[in-house]
């Protein structure tokens, strides 16, 4: 297996001296309408979250100081809390693509995505969030994120989230990125394996030790993505479950370091099984103007082609992202630099790109993007012009 390039590591340490990473739900103007606050209160720019937006989502989408009895229906039942209006919003993404890698060198991708979103408060310390893709890459994709969030259980910094989410969510949230280019290592599959770090169904728990600045995340999921239920009315296709955890530690006010571990077994149609295990460190460093995120993951598959012979296929990957906000959260222009690399014993998975993306806010809920990606593995180029709006 090739070693991760020294260029990427040098870049990481070069910008590391200047620079936090966003974490949690997608942009949803329904929250802005409900609480009569600007989108910039939580996002910079949307859908990228500021620390306040992260805290708002972690609190079950509630602002205690903004909660008023007149915002809810009075039904004479203290156990019932219904919003007078149902919070709903929409997001629309459109792109023009110019790609030297295929015979189709240009493509008008409109809409690339169109989805309805809803989220809010169900009861004290209980929130919900979901979105439905009316159109994703030309087809109805259905539900992706969908969960119930129980906050501050027992009066402790202990939360439980039940539903459908991405198993990479404790790390870098793909739905919050500013680039057309993805965080590739999370969505890569090896051989015939269905295991990756995208959507799955299960439970996620978190606990924060406020005195030490330490956070713990644990998750238990089916481990087979989000397929339809089978004839037996079950989502899972085998008797195994995947599980994982992340430990995160604040290091002063501008930085965090973490470690992630995730593993599970899956059965193939041959009756043989594959064990996929992911683990690796991450860190963030930021001051609001320069925000750096670094993620390294090592993956080992015991038998990704389900042959019954242990072969131990190793894959390693990294994501390095730097977001530059010249005027911090009041910026209208942003620059994102993104580096993806994957080196695998399964050579067809090798991947290496460098991306530069400029974002301009025409309005708080309408942004334009201009992006260039160089594929260093295939010596090809891709340009993207895009519009993203939420309303």
Specify the pLDDT at position 55.
66
Specify the pLDDT at position 254.
87
Q: Are the beta carbons of 340 and 5 closer than 8 angstroms?
A: no
Specify the pLDDT at position 329.
87
Specify the pLDDT at position 86.
83
Give me the average pLDDT of each 10-residue run along the chain (391 residues): 43 35 52 61 69 65 61 76 84 96 91 94 90 94 94 94 96 92 97 96 96 96 94 94 97 92 96 97 95 97 96 97 94 97 96 98 95 96 96 91
Q: Domain extents for the chain?
A: 6-390
Specify the pLDDT at position 11.
38
Specify the pLDDT at position 80.
82
Specify the pLDDT at position 374.
98
Specify the pLDDT at position 74.
72
Let me know if 36 is exposed, middle or buried by CB neighbors in 10 A (0-12, 13-18, 19+).
exposed
Of 292, 281, 359, which is closest to residue 321 (Cα–Cα)? 292
| CATH code of domain 6-390 | 2.40.160.10
Give just the sign of the alpha carbon dihedral 288, 289, 290, 295. Answer: positive
pTM value is: 0.85
CA distance 308 to 306: 6
Q: Are the beta carbons of 364 and 40 closer than 8 angstroms?
A: yes
């Amino acid at each position: 297996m090739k070693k991760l390039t020294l260029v990427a590591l040098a870049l990481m340490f070069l910008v590391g001296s200047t620079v936090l990473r966003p974490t949690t739900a997608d942009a949803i103007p329904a929250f802005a309408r409900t609480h009569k606050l600007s989108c910039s209160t939580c996002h910079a720019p949307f859908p990228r979250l500021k620390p306040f937006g992260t805290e708002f989502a972690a609190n079950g989408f509630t602002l205690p100081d903004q909660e008023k009895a007149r915002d809810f229906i009075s039904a004479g039942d203290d156990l019932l809390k219904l919003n007078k209006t149902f919070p709903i919003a929409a997001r629309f993404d459109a792109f023009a693509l110019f790609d030297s890698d295929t015979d189709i060198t240009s493509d008008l991708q409109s809409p690339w995505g169109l989805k309805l979103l809803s989220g809010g408060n169900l009861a004290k310390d209980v929130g919900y969030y979901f979105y439905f893709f009316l159109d994703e890459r030309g087809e109805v994709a259905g539900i992706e994120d969908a969960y119930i969030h129980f906050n501050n259980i027992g009066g402790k910094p202990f939360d439980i989230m039940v539903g459908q989410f991405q198993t990479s969510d404790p790390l870098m949230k793909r739905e919050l990125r500013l680039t057309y280019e993805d965080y590739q290592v999370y969505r890569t599959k090896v051989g015939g394996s269905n295991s990756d770090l995208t959507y799955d169904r299960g439970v996620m728990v978190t606990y924060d030790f406020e005195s030490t600045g330490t956070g713990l995340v644990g998750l238990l999921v089916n481990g087979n993505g989000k397929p339809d239920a089978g004839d037996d009315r079950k989502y899972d296709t085998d008797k195994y479950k995947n599980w994982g955890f992340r430990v995160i530690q604040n290091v002063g006010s501008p930085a965090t370091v973490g470690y992630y571990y995730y593993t599970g077994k899956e059965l193939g149609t041959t009756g043989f099984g594959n064990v996929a295990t992911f683990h690796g460190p991450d860190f963030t460093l930021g001051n609001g103007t320069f925000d750096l995120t670094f993620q390294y993951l090592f993956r080992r598959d015991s038998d990704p082609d389900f042959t019954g012979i242990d072969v131990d296929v190793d894959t390693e990957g990294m994501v390095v992202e730097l977001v530059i906000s010249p005027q911090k959260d009041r910026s209208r222009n942003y620059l994102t630099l993104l580096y993806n690399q994957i080196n695998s014993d399964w050579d067809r998975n090798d991947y290496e790109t460098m991306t530069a993306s400029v974002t301009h806010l025409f309005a708080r809920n309408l942004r334009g993007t201009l992006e260039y990606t160089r594929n260093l593995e295939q010596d090809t180029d891709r340009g993207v012009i895009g519009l993203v709006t939420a309303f």
